[in-house]
Amino acid sequence: MTTDTDQIYRQYAIEEYTPEHEPYYVGVGDEIELFRAAFEQKIPVLLKGPTGCGKTRFVEYMAYQLGRPLTVLKEQGTSATPPMHANGDGQALSVVTVACHEDLTASDLVGRYLLEGDSTRWMDGPLTRAVKRGAICYLDEVVEARKDTTVLIHPLTDYRRLLPVEKLGQIIEAREGFLLVISYNPGYQSALKDLKHSTRQRFIAIDFTYPPREVEAQIIEKESGVDAATSVELAKLGEKVRNLREHGLGEGVSTRLLIYAGKLIAKGIPARRACQVGVVWALTDDAEVQRSIEEVVSSIFE
């Protein structure tokens, strides 16, 4: 029985998951060097930027890269070299990703008692596991979470690197390799949900924007498998649509969506149609804005 299930899916403890292959990421600026330095200096990192511009991918990529000796990292082209393992247990760094939402409370991160029969059992939350394991903990869209989570973040992000577990009456010291990374999308949240300064000022901030046209085309090409010319057109579309931001559109089109469109095209869907379902309809429900973007699409794609 167990062998059957094992064949069908793979399952990991949350803190043990590591990317198997090297995630694809193209550095646009000096973010790779910055992150590596921060990691080594144990400085928490805040990633700012719009949705779908590669923040999560960047974290995965860095986790993978940080598991390897510095020399290899510098020559990105030679990815064939098998990774060396920095944290001693023969793996790239683990990443624990938590997508924050407005009902996410501190106990969701730290852990809670579960009822089991008439007794209770303590279960560690993802943050606790990452702290114990020494993994990168990535809190995506952190401002969405409840304010009480900041109680946890603060002691973890200064020199103490401690996680208080109130319900157990414990304090856990973060293991070597633990790094708190949070992401934050400045344009998107309402004024109510701005990050507090006392929290903000515990992180260095790396600003992400959509990559320039050529780089984005390269990413689209690599990720979607569509030909180079179409990739350039898709990147161009991305650039044009982003001009419409704050103008009927809350957000510009993400690289991710452009890749999806590219993937559809690679499977033989006509370009205009692929962009319609992959970009236009995904972005907005406003008929007029849809029409406008479709016109841009039809101007770019034949």
Partner 1 sequence: MERFAERLAAEYDEILGGYPVSLPRDFRQALAELTGTLSEQEQRLWAEDGAALARHSLRSWEAAGEFFRASPALATLMPFPVLRRWAETGRELAEESASLASSYFKAGAEGLGGLSIQQMREWAGLGRQLYKGNWKSSSLASQFFEVSPTLFQQVNLAEARALARFIDTLASRSYELAAACLGIAPKVMGSLQRADRGSFLGFATVVAETSWADARVYFEKGPGLLHHVHQDQRTRFLLLSSAVARKAGRQAYPFFAESASALGQLDNELHNRLLTLAELLAPKSGAAAMEFLKSVPEVLMRVRFDDLDAWHGEGRKILEASEDGGLAFFRLESGKGEEVIELLSARVELVRVGEVLRMYCKALTGTNVSIQAAGALADKGVGWVSTERASTDGTAVFLPPVVEEAGDKGENFAVYKVYATHQAGHLEFESFRMRFERPGALFGNTRIERAGGDGVALTDMERFFDLFEDRKLASDLFTVVEDSRIDYLIKREYGGIRGALRRVQGRELGKRSPVEQMPLRQAAVENLIRISLDGLSSVRWPLGRMETMRQAAGLLRAIQHEAATIEDTAEITLRLYDLLTQVPNVLLDAELEGEWAELGEDDIQLDMMPAGGEGGAPQPGGEGTLGEPGEGEAPYDSPDAPDFRGDFKPELVQLLMRLRGDAKSQGEADGQFAPLTPEQLKELMEKSVEIDISAFVEGDMQMSTGMFLANLMKEAGTPASEKQGQQSGDGQPGEGDEEDTGEPPENPIEYFWYDEWDFRANDYKPRWCRVVQQTLDEGENKFFEKTLVEHAGLVAQTRKQFELMRPELFRKIKKLYDGEEIDLDAVIEFVAERKAGHSGDDKIYWRRNKIERDVAVAFLLDMSASTDEEINRRERGRDDDDFDDDPRRYLAWWAQKRAKELQNPVKRIIDLEKESTVLLMEALETIGDRYGIYGFSGYGRDNVEFYVIKGLDEAFDDKIKKRIDKVVPIRSTRMGPAIRHATMKLDQYDAKVKILFLVSDGRPQDHGYGRDRTEKEYAIHDTKMALNEAKRKGIVPFALTVDRAGHDYLKTMCEDIGYEVVADIESLPSRLPTLYRKLTE
Q: Does 115 bind partner 1 (CB under 8 A)?
A: yes
Q: Does 273 bind partner 1 (CB under 8 A)?
A: no
Nearest approach, Cβ of 24 to partner 1 (angstroms)?
27
> Which residue number, 165 or 293, has a Cβ lying nearer to partner 1?
293
Q: Does 293 bind partner 1 (CB under 8 A)?
A: yes
Q: Does 243 bind partner 1 (CB under 8 A)?
A: yes
Pair type for strands 170-173 and 179-184 = unpaired
> Which residue number, 85 or 112, has a Cβ lying nearer to partner 1?
112
> Which residue number, 75 or 288, has a Cβ lying nearer to partner 1?
288
Question: CA quadruple 117, 120, 123, 125: dihedral positive or negative?
Answer: positive
Q: Does 233 bind partner 1 (CB under 8 A)?
A: yes
Nearest approach, Cβ of 271 to partner 1 (angstroms)?
9
Cα distance between residue 60 and residue 95, in whole Å: 7
Q: Does 4 bind partner 1 (CB under 8 A)?
A: no
CA angle in degrees (0–180, nearest 5) for 230-30-194: 90
* Residue 275 per-residue DSSP state: H
> Which residue number, 60 or 108, has a Cβ lying nearer to partner 1?
108
**Among the listed residues 79, 87, 91, 107, the single contact to partner 1 using CB under 8 A:** 107
196 phi and psi angles, rounded to 5 deg: -70, 150
* Cα dist from 279 to 51, 78, 113, 118, whole Å: 14, 34, 44, 52
Q: Does 210 bind partner 1 (CB under 8 A)?
A: no
Stretch that binds partner 1, among 27-35, 78-86, 155-163, 241-249 (CB under 8 A): 241-249
Amino acid at 63: A
Question: CA quadruple 17, 26, 179, 124: dihedral positive or negative?
Answer: negative
Nearest approach, Cβ of 126 to partner 1 (angstroms)?
16
> Which residue number, 84 or 229, has a Cβ lying nearer to partner 1?
229
Nearest approach, Cβ of 139 to partner 1 (angstroms)?
18
Cα distance between residue 278 and residue 257, in whole Å: 6
DSSP one-letter string for 50-115: -TTSSHHHHHHHHHHHHTS-HHHHH-TT-TTSPPP-TTSSSSPPPEEEEE--TT--HHHHHEEEEE
Provide the β-strand partners of residue 170.
165
Nearest approach, Cβ of 73 to partner 1 (angstroms)?
36
Stretch that binds partner 1, among 7-15, 19-27, 105-113, 151-159 (CB under 8 A): 105-113
Contacts to partner 1 by CB under 8 A:
105, 107, 112, 115, 233, 236, 240-241, 243-244, 247-248, 272, 288-289, 291-293, 295-302
